Each structure stands twice: as structure tokens, then as C-alpha cells.
A and B are shown apart, each in its own frame.
Chain A
């Protein structure tokens, strides 16, 4: 073998070691993107070096960088020299194009080779989960509480009166503010609600959440409340009416036949019978019966006496 060729082989073998010690630090493995509900994370398995802390740096490349910017890569500063094995990409994967991600391990001045994601990632590939919701009845109002899932997500809420599944109504909730009013319910009826997550930017929807049903405040309870109030009313009336009647009769009695009390001076200590008796003697003495006789009778009496 000629010496030039031997040199070439030796150079070729030692070249990777000369250029930054790539062989000393292996590149991160199992690089994958976990994307749920438009939140994207890059994960990788750690590079383990006994007794040392390995750091990682992440870079991304969009279609623009590939096609117009000489295939350049843009570092994500939050994930530069990080010890974590996860990196939040949500802010950077914001355009509807195909992205590539890469990560490398660093230990002091030693850097591993870049480990790159297999294939491309587009934000439309995110997996969408159904929303967590709670249907509520507040009087006759049908309300739904939706858990916040981030700014780019909307909710398509379907609701219907139980038994009238053919007449399903829809409401799109764009921003979540804990509780949303859906409809006014018919008294006593049961209403059901289900919802799905929707992302307008990628025109995709999740599956539906499990259906939840609530019953509106019914006629029975209204009747019960009315009955309770009216019976209480009757009880109160039954107690107050006799009292009122007695009181009114008292007032009338006072107005028409007042109970006059005689002053003490007018009161006699002697029984009235004595008064009458004494009086009668005087009256009898004074009022003697004077019989005035007509003249013929006097004449007749005189004739009889004379005879």
C-alpha cells in the first residue's frame, strides 16, 4: 500500500475527532415533537456522562430558512445550554409551513453532533383533545363551564333538549371566560351539552366530549313553592282574622255604645229603693187625690143625702 493512501485513511479516521471532538459526546437520541392543542414541545433522551452535567441547545428551521435563507437555523434562546430534555416550541412554530428541529449536547467546550427530527413538523399535525366542560342549570338558564385550553383554540358547543336530538343547536365559543350562557330552558325539561375543540388556523376539530345533561328548574318546584307560600299565608290569615274581627267589633262598640263611667259624685251610697220609698211618702202626701165631681153628680148626691 502506498504511503499516501495510508495517510489518507489515517486522516479520514481522525478527522471527526479533530473537528470539535464529536466522537466524545454522542448526539441526543429519540428526538420527537409532542404536540397537543397547538402547544408544541421537542423532547429527546438525555446524554449521560458520569459525574458531569450535559447541556443541550435547540434550533429550528422553517420552510423560509430552507428555501430562501441558505438553509440557516435559528437558535431558541430559552433552550440554549439548558439542562432540561424538553423545549417549548409553541412561539416559534407559528406559521403554517413545515419545520425541522435539531438538538445537540454540550459539555464544556465539547459539542455533540446535531440530532435532527425525522421528517417535517407542521402545526396542523397537532393532536386535539376534546374540551373539559361542565353543564349547569341556573334557574331557567343553560350554562356551560369550559376549561381554558389556550388562545388559538375555539369550542364548538352543541346543545339540545333531551328527546329532541334532531334539533341540535350550536354555539361557537371563541374566548373562554369560565362560564358561557347557552340558552333559556323550558321549565322542567332536561337539556344536554357536548363540545369539541376547534382550531380555525388549521381548520381541524377534536372529537366530542362526553355528553352532559342538566334539568331546568321545573313546574313541580314552582308549584311546591306556591303551595308553601299560600299555606303559610292561610295560616297567618287564620290567626289574624279572629283577632282583627275582635278588634273591629271593639272599635265599633266604642264608637256607638261607649261604656260611660259615672263620676263618683253621682254615685249614691244608699240603695235607690229607700229613695223611692221616702219620695213616695212625700209624693203621696203632696199629691192628694182631689176628685172633682160634675155638678149633676153633686146635686144627685145632695138629693140622696137630703132624702
Chain B
């Protein structure tokens, strides 16, 4: 039959497409609170600048280390929401503003990530208002450690280091979703 090869081709292409990650927003459920986060855009921005950031920040150790025991745990949705909110706030309030490089391209990508984080933080704030975003004792304690470690470092290097660790946060968010 004349049409069979064409049909097979179309069919296989559509199968292949289903395996590809979908572009756009991802919906995160924090209890009753639903937040759509443009993970693809944040990831794309981060991937574009990761190599540049790694070469900038040479300081050893990870700032997110205190949170590491939590990454592998099954957390309550409220705890997950709280950690996400706290980390997004941390990045918006303390990190991005000190991440200025000589490279205009890197600065533009950082702006893109910062603006995405700002809009996401705002959405997570709505979950907080609905009391779906309360931190447990453990995560509150861990978070205090992160802030203490951060304040102890030089502002710019601490900011760039935190930016370099952004993918740990993104990986955890997608894994625990």
C-alpha cells in the first residue's frame, strides 16, 4: 500500500516525541496547593551559564551540605513546600543580586533565572498564606546552618557558589515532586 511507509514514519516520530521532555511549566503539588514552575526555562538558563560559574567559584565544600540528609528523605508536602520557599527566598534576597560578572551573556541568563525565581517565590507565598507551607523543626534548623555558613563567606564568592549549586535544588524539586 502506498501510504504505509509514510504512516509508519509518522507513527515512529510521534512515539519518539512522547519520550522527549515536554517544554514549559511543571506543576508541583504541595498538599492542596498547586504551583506551576517554569523548570525548563530555569534549567535552560542554568545550563547555559554553568561552565562559566564553575570557573568563577573555586571555594571548596558545598553550601547546601546541611540540607543533604533531607534530600534523600520522604518529606511531608508542607515541609517540601517550606524548604522550596525558603531556598527560593534565599536566592532572590541574598544570592542573585551579588552575581554580577563581566560577561554580559551570563548576566542576562542570571537575570532570567532571578526573575523566574521571583515569580515562583510569589506563587509559593500564596501556598504559605493557605498554611500549606510550614517548616518542620529539622528543616528549620538545617536552614539556619545554611544561612550561617553563607554569612561567613565573602559575599560575591558565596553568591556565585550558591548559584553553582542551583542544580542540586532543581534536581531535588523534580525528584521529590
Contact = CB atoms under 8 A, between A and B. Distances in A.
B114 A64 contact: yes
Interface string A151-174: 110100000000000000000001
Interface string B9-35: 011011001001011110000000000
Interface string A53-95: 0000000101111011100001111000000000000011011
Contacts of B116: 94-96
Contacts of A174: 17, 22-23
Nearest to A171: B14
A95 B115 contact: yes
A92 B112 contact: yes
Contacts of A210: none
Contacts of A199: 24
A95 B112 contact: yes
Interface in B23-60: 23-25, 38, 41, 45
B172 to A, nearest CB: 21
A201 interface: yes
B24 A200 contact: yes
A74 B13 CA distance: 41
Contact of B111 (A92, A151, A154, A200): A92
A172 B117 CA distance: 28
Contacts of A97: 115, 118-119
A262 to B, nearest CB: 64
A122 to B, nearest CB: 10
A76 B111 CA distance: 12
A220 B164 CA distance: 67
A204 interface: no
Nearest to B107: A74
B96 A139 contact: no
A68 B96 contact: yes
B87 interface: no
B14 A180 contact: yes
A62 B112 CA distance: 8
Interface in B62-76: none
A141 B117 CA distance: 45
A174 B4 CA distance: 24
A59 B42 CA distance: 21
Nearest to B113: A95
Given A69-B96, A175-B20, A201-B24, A92 B10 contact: no
Interface in A117-165: 138-139, 141, 143, 151-152, 154
Contact of B119 (A95, A139, A177): A95
Contacts of A64: 92, 96, 111, 114-115, 117-118
A95 B23 CA distance: 14
B93 interface: yes
A139 B3 contact: yes
A179 B10 contact: yes
B115 A181 contact: no
B115 A139 contact: no
Nearest to A200: B24
Contacts of A91: 108, 112
Contacts of A138: 2-3, 6-7
A49 B157 CA distance: 46
A181 B7 contact: yes
Nearest to A92: B108
Contacts of B14: 177, 180-181
B144 interface: no
B93 A65 contact: no
Interface string B103-134: 01101100110111111000000000000000
Given A64-B111, A65-B111, 6 more contacts: A63-B118, A68-B93, A94-B41, A95-B116, A138-B3, A177-B17
Nearest 9 Cβ contacts at the A-B interface: A95-B115, A200-B24, A139-B3, A138-B3, A62-B115, A64-B114, A95-B116, A181-B10, A77-B104
